Structure 1
Amino acid sequence: MISNNYQKVVIKRPQHWKSPYSNDTYEGRISFYSFGKLKKILGLSKAHFGGACVDIGCGQGYFLLTLTSYFSKVFGIDKNIKISPDVSTGVFSGHQRWDERYQNKTLLDSTREMLRGENALHHNLEILEGDAKSMPVGNKTIDVVFAIDILEHCREKDAIYQEFCRILKNGGSLIYSVPNSVGIAQRLRNILAFFAGVQEDPASEDHKNYHWKKELSLLAQYFTVKKVIGFPFFVKAISPSILVQCCADKTTSSKEKP
């Protein structure tokens, strides 16, 4: 179950459910839609509770504190880019509020600032600079890699999957979510955005034609695909998000770092 802090947010502040795209994690708020998706993703990792995990593309860290309650070691990894109003990093994306709090800050600095009070209580959390192709983590040391809504933005997937294989223990899991941005699901996404009064995020242009089904064939070269789930609907064809769980039990040509 997701941490009590987020449960209280969802119960006490229902006004923040109004947009399925709405996250303001700087103030500790998370939308009902995102809450439900993270809860589902956390459930998929249950077999690895007590181990070590990576949240790649952690952004403002809105999943990190929850993970510290279930894993012995948590690494939040992202690029340390300078924040600007047009940067797509969760709360800083085009449809989100912008003000002087974020001025002249880098992403990871703002994440550390937001979590500083909590870090004293969570010694098992580290926030590191890196990206999906190069993570500052040892070989075969990680039980779960979480990649939440990042793969649709990435190129060079072979290099990324090799890096995931490098850090994952044998039998470890890759758990990721991607937007279902084709067919009926994309049309439903547009309808939801229209009625929520949300202008489409310009940064989504790079995954307009992301085909999660085609991606599975490449993924299968590196992992055994265990589950493919639609969210929030059971029928994948109409679900805005697709959740995938894979097992790192294949021999690959991934290069180990010294």
Structure 2
Amino acid sequence: MKNGSLHDHLFGTFDQKLSWPIRQRIALGTARGLAYLHYGAQPSIIHRDIKANNILLDEEFEAKVADFGLAKFTPEGMTHMSTRVAGTMGYLAPEYALYGQLTEKSDVYSFGVVLLELLSGKKALHVTNDNQPSLVTDWAWSLVREGKGLDVIEDGMPEKGPSEVLEKYVLVAVLCSHPQLYARPTMDQVVKMLETDLVVPSIPERPIPLVAEMDDIERYSSSGSIQLSSSGGFQSFTMESSLPRDRNGDGESSGSRTEGR
């Protein structure tokens, strides 16, 4: 392909940063390609290895989903498959990486990671300033939770689009890369959100990390939900806690528990 892969432009030899119109075109093209695999192809196809290297770009920067070496056909009527885990670290959905549970929403998670890479210029798995490994999904989530979704956008992006559009793309990426399968949209829904004025639904709170700060645990257990507003004031979002409150109403959980991402 004349313009190589998305990885080449984000992390490779190309020095010039992609403009927002080109990034938007790549995001939409990738989303449409995956939606076709899941709902247009018969039988439907789960790609299993969506990553920046496998998004190829033609001379017009139209995205082409490539490399079907790990792809699986989905027999009609099957809600999920149990299979040997294959794919690339940083892009794998938690339920698939941990339990081998494969669904179309495994691809949705990977798409969310790629979209975050496209928006931020950060790798799926990167090293922070204090030399600690970090997932781009965790980093983006922490900013959205603080109402700073626009801080996800890469500095110096040429022809930066309207703030409300940029922020919507960030929220779609965070929703797609939610660690809990039920919270993710389908690729058809993703295409509609990116192409139209369809509102991004409320983003459920994420499970408490296996290693959590005490104030995080107290915040999750003492509040049934967290109200967040976007940095630009375009829309408010409710983050629903995944921990039950006890019947006393005192905000203390009757039994604390932690869950891995």
Q: Is the structural similarity TM-score above 0.5?
A: no
1 or 2, which has the higher strand percentage? 1
Task: Output the TM-score relative to the length of structure 2.
Answer: 0.30
Which of the pair has more CA radius of gyration?
2
